[in-house]
Amino acid sequence: MKMVFSSKIRSNSFLFPPYTPWGHGTSELDGQVVATLCGVVERVNKLVYVRSLRARYKPEVGDIIVGRVIEIAPKRWRLEINFSQDAVLMLSSMNLPDGIQRRRTAVDELNMRSIFEENDVVCAEVRGFQHDGSLHLQARSQKYGKLERGQLLTVPAYLVKRRKQHFHRLEQYCVDLILGCNGFIWVGEHLETGENDMLEDREKRPEISKTNMIHEEQERTFTPLEVRRHICRIANAVRLLSALGFILTVESIIDTVEASASSNIEIKDMLGPEFYVQTVEREVQRRILLSRKKG
């Protein structure tokens, strides 16, 4: 018996022997241990607890997360990360735009808004909890930082499993896909790390006119129409799989994208009932083949 139902409906409650120690998600009722959550029964030696199926995101050190900046405070940014409290990204815990490792100064603190401002989407890594209970992040790598020219999607955090790789470059679509452990998923145009360096070089060249600089800036920030379509199709694949409750992996997302394209499904029709049914049938066939291979 794996599934557990809420004890509010007494007839559906799963009762444990009175001698069993109880943990999270359980309670004592009439001398017996009764589940108070819908989830899976877990046992550690004699301890019994219930692991909720739809629990909120619980950060762990090393998690790759995507968040949105909601406040700029002294020497830190506050980010919404789909957790019970906001996360903190310290100025000292990220690379500066010049890339030089040095002590942060008062000038750096004054220029914080030029790095991240409110509503910016940021990718970072969970550093740990501080003594005051706040969750701290770090972005000391080129793969972390501000995310631009894409879509931020929100899915239940339990649909994103912790894996070795959460950054995916989909070369055939020129798209970057980041599966945040906190349920925030980024789908955006692939940007080479050298683009910012080229921009700085252009700013250092005084002979370039202001008009040419504006023209180059527009070209740099322009996303081709075909790439935009790829971003929208991949984003709708994520929305579809999330609505169906399927675990989100890069393989399942690409498979859904390719299936929609091969079936000539328009991007706007991917969230329609017809493609929902096709996706479910395809998943059923996949699981049948998988069970046969194991058998």
- Overall number of domains in the chain: 2
Say if residue 30 is in the same domain as residue 95: no
Decide if 26 contacts 36 (C-beta within 8 A).
Answer: yes
Sheet with 175-179, side-by-side order of all strands: 150-154, 184-189, 175-179, 167-170
Say if residue 70 is in the same domain as residue 18: no
Q: Write the pLDDT tens digit of every residue in 130-151.
A: 877 789 999 988 889 999 999 9
Q: Write the pLDDT tens digit of every residue in 181-232.
A: 999 999 999 987 544 443 444 444 445 555 665 555 555 678 899 999 999 9
Predicted confidence band of residue 3 (pLDDT cuts 50, 70, 90):
very low
115 domain residue, yes or no: yes
Runs of H (alpha helix) within the chain: 106-110, 112-115, 194-204, 210-220, 225-244, 250-262, 273-294
Q: Which residues contact 38 (CB under 8 A, 6 or more apart)?
A: 3, 4, 5, 6, 52, 53, 54
Q: What is the DSSP letter of 267?
A: G
Residue 11 in this model has a pLDDT that exceeds 50: no
Instruction: Give pLDDT, residue 26.
Output: 82
CATH number of the domain encompassing residue 33: 2.40.50.100
Say if residue 80 is in the same domain as residue 184: yes
288 domain residue, yes or no: no
The whole-number average pLDDT for the span 255-281 is 94
SS3 call for 76: strand
The whole-number average pLDDT for the span 46-72 is 85
Instruction: Give pLDDT, residue 120.
Output: 94
Boundaries of domain holding 158: 64-189
Q: How many CA atoms lie within 13 A of 91 on its CB side?
A: 20
CATH number of the domain encompassing residue 157: 2.40.50.140
